[in-house]
Amino acid sequence: MTAIATDNRPTQTHAEVTRDVVATLGTQSRGYTLMLFGAVALFLVGALTFVLLLKDGLGLAGYKSPVMWSVYITTFVFWVGIGHAGTLISAILFLFRSPWRTAVYRATEAMTVFAVMTAGLFPIIHIGRQWVFYWLLPYPNQRFLWPNFKSPLLWDVFAIGTYLTVSTTFLVVGLVPDIAAVRDKVTGWRKKVYTLCSLGWTGSDNQWRHYTRGYLYLAALATPLVLSVHSVVSWDFAMSIVPGWHGTIFAPYFVAGAIYSGVGMVFTLLIPLRKVLHLEHMITEYHFDNLAKLTLLTGSILFYAYAMEYFVAWYSGVAAEQTTFYLRAFGPMWWAGWTMIICNAFVSQLFWFKKIRTNIAALFVISIFINIGMWFERYVIIVSSLGNDHLPFAWGQLDPTWADWGILAGSFGWFLMYFLLFARTFPIVAIQEIKEMIPMPRKRAGGHH
C-alpha cells in the first residue's frame, strides 16, 4: 500500500465504504430522475429517426456525393473514442498500480461499455440496406460467401466486437465481489436478484486467489485494445487514398484523440453524478486533477498531430493533399476546422494550471468544449476531406438535415440511458478496491512485520 500518497488515502472504514456505496443504489433523487427522463426522450427521437431511415432510405440525411460518409460515421468514431479512456483508466492504470484510478474506474469502465454499445449501432444505421448488416460476419451461409478480410470495415467489425466483449467481461468480473457486498446489505426481492448476480461469491480465499490473478490477465489483455481498437478505426480512413485520410500518423493520432475525448466525457459524466449520488468524499479533486493531467498530455499530442498533418501536406508536395488542408482552414468549412483546433489543441493547454485542474466548475465547462471539439475533429476529417478530393469537378459540400441530428441526439440518449440505469443499479464506485486501499484494523499497534 506504500504506493498511495498519504494525503489522499480514503479516510472511511470498510463499513462506511459499504454503507455509502450501497446508499447510492436505487436512488430516487429528482436530479437523477430528470436526467434519466431527458435521456429516454433523446433516445426516442433517435429511434423514430431510424424508423424513417429504414422506411425511406438514407436520402433523408444530408448525404451528397461525394460526401458519402458524414454525421453517422463521425458519431460512430466519436463514441468508439469515448470508450478508450475507460479502458485506459481501468486496465492500464491498474497494471501501473496507479492508486487514483480506484475511485473512478468503475464509472469509466461502465462508460466504456455503453459508449462502445452506442458506437456499435452506427455501422448498422449508416449502411444502405440495414436489414442485411449481418452479411459482414463470416457465418457459413448457404453458398459459402465469405466476407472480404482485406476491408478495413471488416477489421472494424472484429475490433469493435472484441472490444465490446472484453470490456463488458472486464466490467462484470470487477462487479461480482461488489454485488456480493450489496447482496449482503439489502433485503427482499433485491436480495434475490443480487444473489443471482453475485454468482455465489463469498470472498473465500480460494475465490480471491483465482480472481486476483484472472483480473490481472484480463487487464493485461484489455490494455493492447486501448491502442489497437482506435488504430483500426483510424485505418478505415488511413487505408484509403482520399487526400486528408491517407496518412501514417492516423493511428497514434486517433488513439490520443480517443483518450482525450474519453477523459473529457468522464468529467462530463462524473461531475454531476458524484453530486447526485453524494460521492464527493470518494471522488475528489485529487482524482480530477490526475484526469486533467491525462487530458493535458493527450491534448498536447493532438496539438502535435494537427501541426504534423499540415507539415506533411505541405512537405509531400501533393497538390490534392495541400488543397484539402488549405480548405480545412480557409474553405467553406473553416468554422468546423477552427472549432476542432481551438477546442482540442488550445483549450487542453489550460490544464497547465493546477487552479484550473482542481476547479470543478471550470473542468465541467472545459469538458463540454472537449466533447464538441472531438466530435468536430471527426466531422472535419471525414466531411471536409471527402468534399474535395482528386477531381475538382466532382467536389461537393455537405449540408446535414434533421435526420443527421436526430440520430446524433438519439445516440446520446441511448448512451446516457444505460449509464444512468447502471449507476442506480450497481456500485458506481468499486467497493472492494477501495477497501483494498484501506488498511484493516489491527490488535497490535504499528504496521505489519
Considering only residues 352 to 381 of the shown chain, the ones binding another protein according to CB under 8 A are none
Compare residues 130 and 358 and give the one whose CB is closer to another protein. Answer: 130
- Closest approach, Cβ 302 to another protein, in A, equals 24
φ, ψ (nearest 5 deg) of residue 67: -85, 80
Near another protein by CB under 8 A: residue from 35, 121, 277, 386 = 386
Which of helix, strand or coil describes residue 64?
Answer: strand
Near another protein by CB under 8 A: residue from 93, 279, 301, 431 = 431
* Residue 391 within binding range of another protein, rule CB under 8 A: yes
Say how many residues touch another protein, by CB under 8 A: 110
Q: What single-letter amino acid sits at 96?
A: F
Among candidates 316, 301, 157, 303, which has minimal Cα distance to 247?
Answer: 316
φ, ψ (nearest 5 deg) of residue 64: -160, 130
Contacts by 137-140 with C-beta closer than 8 Å and gap 24+?
Answer: none
Near another protein by CB under 8 A: residue from 395, 402, 405, 425 = 395
* Residue 320 within binding range of another protein, rule CB under 8 A: yes
Compare residues 117 and 296 and give the one whose CB is closer to another protein. Answer: 117
Near another protein by CB under 8 A: residue from 225, 276, 363, 409 = 225
Give the interface segment with another protein, choosing from 29-37, 83-91, 233-241, 403-411 (CB under 8 A): 233-241
Q: How many angstroms separate the CA atoms of 102 and 434, rounded?
A: 6
Joined together, the cell numbers standing for residue 45 give 427521437
* Residue 329 within binding range of another protein, rule CB under 8 A: no
Convert residues 101-140 into a mask of x (bound to another protein by CB under 8 A) and - (unbound).
Answer: ----------------------x--xxxxx-xx-xx-x--
* Residue 389 within binding range of another protein, rule CB under 8 A: yes
Torsion of CA 353, 355, 358, 359, to 10 degrees: -120
Site for another protein in 44-63 (CB under 8 A): 56-60, 63
Compare residues 46 and 244 and give the one whose CB is closer to another protein. Answer: 244
* Residue 336 within binding range of another protein, rule CB under 8 A: no
Near another protein by CB under 8 A: residue from 11, 150, 188, 361 = 150
Site for another protein in 181-210 (CB under 8 A): 181, 183-185, 199-200, 202-210
* Residue 436 within binding range of another protein, rule CB under 8 A: yes
Q: How many angstroms separate the CA atoms of 177 and 39, rounded?
A: 29
Compare residues 77 and 341 and give the one whose CB is closer to another protein. Answer: 77
* Residue 30 within binding range of another protein, rule CB under 8 A: no
Q: Name residue, grid cell 472545459.
A: 366
Give the number of other Cβ atoms within 10 Å of residue 138's Cβ. 13
Angle between helices 152-183 and 205-238 (to 10 degrees): 150
- Closest approach, Cβ 180 to another protein, in A, equals 5
Q: Is 268 left (phi over 0), alpha (psi -120 to 50) or beta?
A: alpha
Compare residues 56 and 280 and give the one whose CB is closer to another protein. Answer: 56
Site for another protein in 253-292 (CB under 8 A): none
Joined together, the cell numbers standing for residue 64 give 451528397
* Residue 312 within binding range of another protein, rule CB under 8 A: no
Near another protein by CB under 8 A: residue from 5, 9, 13, 311 = 13
Which of helix, strand or coil describes residue 67?
Answer: strand
Near another protein by CB under 8 A: residue from 97, 241, 248, 355 = 241
Q: Is 448 exposed, middle or buried (0-12, 13-18, 19+ CB in 10 A)?
A: exposed
SS (H, E, C) 96-159: CCCHHHHHHHHHHHHHHHHHHHHHHHHHHHHCCCHHHHHHHCCCCCCCCCCCCCCCHHHHHHHH
Near another protein by CB under 8 A: residue from 44, 221, 312, 365 = 221
CB 413 within 8 Å of CB 45: yes
Compare residues 77 and 345 and give the one whose CB is closer to another protein. Answer: 77
Q: Where are the alpha helices (DSSP H) in 317-430?
A: 319-330, 334-340, 354-357, 360-379, 385-387, 402-425
Site for another protein in 154-183 (CB under 8 A): 154-155, 157-159, 161-162, 165-166, 169-170, 173, 177, 180-181, 183
